[in-house]
């Protein structure tokens, strides 16, 4: 059995053209998280809602800087194709990992 990836690449509404890496946790409801799911994540001094664009088993961001997601926003998944088309202008093919400082 393949182990579930531990890193989530999350697109957030920010002026940066990158996805942000977050840790997958054992928070209630996280077992249903998949690409296209909406999640609540810590960002700077607040919280943001983002969409999971991809998963990975590792990150270019050091482990001590990665933060865990707060959990899934709800059981609804947006139309991933539409999300990707909308974000192409913002993200292009740049799935560079970032973490907020």
**Domain residue limits, the chain:** 7-98
Give the pLDDT of residue 29.
Answer: 63
> How far from chain centre, in Å, is Cα 51?
6
Closest by Cα among 23, 47, 43, 36 to 74:
36
Closest by Cα among 40, 34, 26, 25 to 72:
40
- Give 29-46 pLDDT, tens digit per residue: 677 788 888 899 999 999
Q: Which CATH fold would you assign to the domain 7-98?
A: GIY-YIG endonuclease (3.40.1440)
Residue segments in the chain with a per-residue pLDDT below the cut of 50: 1-2, 88-89, 92-95, 101
Tokens of 18: 């990158």
Give the pLDDT of residue 32.
Answer: 72
């Amino acid at each position: 059995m393949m182990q579930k990836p531990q890193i989530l690449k999350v697109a957030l509404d920010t002026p940066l053209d990158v996805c942000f890496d977050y840790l997958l946790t054992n928070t209630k409801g996280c077992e249903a998280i998949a690409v296209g799911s909406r999640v609540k994540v810590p960002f700077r001094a607040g919280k943001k809602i983002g969409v999971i664009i991809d998963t990975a088993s590792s990150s270019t961001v050091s482990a001590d800087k990665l933060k865990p997601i707060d959990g899934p926003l709800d059981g609804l998944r947006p139309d991933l194709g539409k999300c990707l088309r909308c974000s192409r202008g913002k993200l292009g093919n740049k799935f560079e990992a970032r973490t907020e400082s």
